[in-house]
Structure 1
């Protein structure tokens, strides 16, 4: 809404305070989406691969994951409000983001960009690749050990598809933004068109919209819980979704049991 309003005027018209507020919430939302993917990848790895014996994912673990996600997102979005870097109009000058293309004195933009690139891109990327890579190996080992089981083979195909799409989604969201930000940062003084800086930010900030859609389409349990939440505790597709959820749990149980045996 904010971007649409400022776009109608051709520039960001809400002043310094508005820029800080818009930049903060846009960055916070994008980072929540990023770290949610990390937490979900870790959860899948723990549940299916069982690196910790007798580990059972509980409500407390889910709360810890939510807290961790918000803490890490805040660790990225808050510093520009208190003097470590800053929020300025970016791209088409109709929305605000972190200042990664100037070296304004007193804001330490250089150190903040390095911190962002390492802690909020490289580390999440490594964790996601590791967790989904181990998950894929475990599923393929289980499928190879139970070639006669149609359930295990179906689980292997579904998990492989989910992993590929989630990893591609992660890369599409964040690689352009991180790459362009780093390129601009290391080529100070060069000329960059507004479109060059706008498209990567669009993909990164909109990730919080289409990542849930990917999970709803690919994960039966996630879809069942989402429908139940949106329908105030009732699922109008109870029978169909319930059967799918049961099958999904059976497949996950089959894969995880095979991977630890």
Structure 2
């Protein structure tokens, strides 16, 4: 196995393992199938998974947006944030998952270097909006249910401002690689694109960018989610204790506890593998790793386009009812969502 990485550093890609060649450009992921990185079965399996994410993610998120446009009763402040989440998920599934599906099926990134940069940027942008939207949802629930600001009322204007906030923060996180702070290149099995975690060239200063993403786009949102949902559970338990004889209050408390666990677990499944892998690569330069395993974190993050709407939308009874009616599969109104029930519970403070 040979590698002349000191003599040759391709501008648009980097395969972070030793290869039996003196001309790494001849094995460019934009030119030839990457069969030297894994078997055809692995590529086709990943293509199938990405196809599933593309079809299901696109369908559910499109339905979410269509239902909100059609049914006025869904146009609440919380649902505005859910629609913002759906738009971000749609961006990931339509661009990130679709291009990955096509590339895995051909075993190399068939769209070229420029498209790789565009796909990397758009998928990162959508992922960051999605991630920050999850934090905003947790923050909104904390404000509405725990009432830390007293009689402050969270209005649609506030929800829209929060949605704008998610896009601004996402742009801050996703634009730097287009301007030289890190770069967007093929990752894992070289069939999808993302920030460059691998190279140590000071030209890109990837280590600082990885730490920036970890702190700004994982640690802060995750801490926000944990704090807000912890406060939410404490408030609900106090309300349930004060209304120990109320079956509806006890039921709401159990439902929300289950939802909170699902939300936190969904967040970790989507983003913890990707974050952990990036930090491991940065802190273990030169250590060998299997590129097949390196592909898994990227696919998990793209699969958030499916996880998020399932947890945040399909478990919302009001949204689910409207989706059924839109598809001609349901008739009457269902009971309001768990989130709304919890809001009602929160109006009764502990004795």
TM-score (normalised: structure 2): 0.68
Shift of 1:65: 1.4
For residues 167 and 121 of structure 2, the distance between their equivalents in structure 1, rounded to whole angstroms, comes to 13
Residues 31-86 of structure 1: per-residue CA shift (max 9 Å, x gap): 12111110100011111100011111211011011101111111111111111110
Give the 5 Å matches for 1:166-185: 166-185=263-282
Task: Between the two structures, name the one with larger relative contact order (CA 8 Å, sep ≥ 6).
Answer: 1
CA distance in 1, matches of 2:116, 2:280: 24
The equivalent of 2:345 in structure 1 is 254
Pick the aligned partner of 2:314 from 195, 209, 217: 217
CA deviations over 1:10-36 (Å, ceiling 9, x no partner) = 222322211101101111121121111
Partner of 1:121: 218
The answer as to whether partners of 1:102 and 1:185 remain within 8 angstroms in 2 is no
What's the CA shift for 1:8? 2.7
State the alpha-carbon separation in 1 of the partners of residues 336 and 265 from structure 2: 25
Structure 1's 235 and 46: CA in aligned 2 closer, same or farther, altered over 3 A?
farther
**Whose radius of gyration is greater, 1 or 2?**
2
CA–CA distance in structure 2, aligned partners of residues 112 and 247 of structure 1? 39
Partner deviation per Cα, 1:219-253 (whole Å, 9 max, x = no partner): 234545x639x94xx99746332xx1178635422
User: Which residue in the other structure is 2:101 paired with?
Assistant: 4
Provide the rounded CA distance (Å) in 2 between the counterparts of 1:148 and 1:195.
Answer: 54
Instruction: Measure how far apart 1:183 and its partner are.
Output: 0.5
Give the 3 Å change call, closer, same or farther, for CA 158–111 of structure 1 in structure 2: same
Query: Are the equivalent residues in 1 in contact too, given 2:103–2:110 (CA < 8 A)?
Result: yes
Residues 183 and 195 of structure 2 are in contact (CA less than 8 Å); yes or no, is this contact kept in structure 1? yes
Q: 239, 245, 256: which is aligned to 2:336?
A: 245
Structure 1 segments, 4+ long, off by >4 Å, are: 234-238
- What is the CA deviation profile of residues 158-214 of structure 1, one whole-angstrom value per residue up to 9, with x for unaligned ones? 110100110111111111111111001110111111122111111112213320111
Structure 2 segments unaligned to the other structure (5+ residues): 1-97
Distance (whole Å) between structure 2 residues aligned to residue 8 and residue 217 of structure 1: 30
> For each residue in 1:124-179, what CA deviation from the matched residue of structure 2 results, as whole angstroms up to 9, or x when unmatched?
11000000010011111111111001111011011101001101111111111111
- The reply to whether residue 16 of structure 1 matches residue 113 of structure 2 is yes
Unmatched tracts of structure 1, length 5 or more: none
Give the superposed CA RMSD: 2.1
Correspondence for 2:86: none
Structure that is richer in helix per residue? 1
**Structure 2 residue 227 is the aligned partner of structure 1 residue 227:** no
Cα distance in structure 2, aligned partners of 1:249 and 1:177: 33
Are residue 74 (structure 1) and residue 171 (structure 2) matched?
yes
- Asked if the contact 2:236/2:345 (under 8 Å) is kept, the reply is no
Q: 1:52 to 1:190 in 2, by over 3 A?
A: same
User: Match for residue 43 of structure 1?
Assistant: 140
Residues 107 and 191 in structure 2, CA contact (< 8 A), matched pair in contact too: yes
Alignment of 1:131-146 (within 5 A): 131-146=228-243
Find 2:194's aligned residue among 80, 94, 97: 97
Q: 1:9 to 1:185 in 2, by over 3 A?
A: same
Give TM-score scaled by structure 1 length: 0.90
Residues 239 and 349 in structure 2, CA contact (< 8 A), matched pair in contact too: yes
Structure 1 residues 139 and 192, CA gap change in structure 2 (3 angstroms): same
Aligned match of 2:259: 162
